Amino acid sequence: HVQLVESGGGSVQAGGSLTLSCVASGIYAGRGAYCMAWFRQVPGKEREGVAAIGSDGRPVYAEFPRGRFTASQDNAKDTLYLQMNSLKPEDTAMYYCAATGDVPPEDIIAVPKVWETIDVYWGQGTQVTVS
């Protein structure tokens, strides 16, 4: 199994920054043969992909955070980061860390309801509120 623990959420004013972290442990940890990703969800709406990093370390972004958010990964510590700059009120959401098997990160971001087609491990979520 995979366990994911997020941290770093909070409240910030528009234009501010936050950095989220996700620490993974379990069968994928340290192997590099999995994809890690950030999703976000607003109540009443579908969960949507934000950024994903494949087993090759390549980050892929949804369109809305491009140029503002930066995903990175500490492979040695199996930690995923999401540096969020120039935050907007519409970025307010619950942000979830996710881990999948070795699938293309583009698919994680682009395929609607991707969790219906592949197994996804989820963290508990961390709330980001931008005012």
Tokens of 41: 């969800």
Q: Report whether pLDDT(25) > 90.
A: no
pLDDT tens profile 45-94: 999 999 999 888 889 999 999 999 999 988 665 799 999 999 999 999 99
What pLDDT is stored for residue 77 in this prediction? 58
What pLDDT is stored for residue 31 in this prediction? 58
HSE toward the beta carbon, residue 17, CA cutoff 13 A: 8
What pLDDT is stored for residue 81 in this prediction? 96
Q: Report whether pLDDT(17) > 60.
A: yes
Instruction: Evaluate whether 84 touches 20 at the Cβ level (below 8 Å).
Output: yes
Q: What is the mean pLDDT of residues 13-23?
A: 97
CB-based contacts of 61-64 (< 8 A; 24+ apart in sequence) = 61/109, 62/109
Return the amino acid letter for 82: L
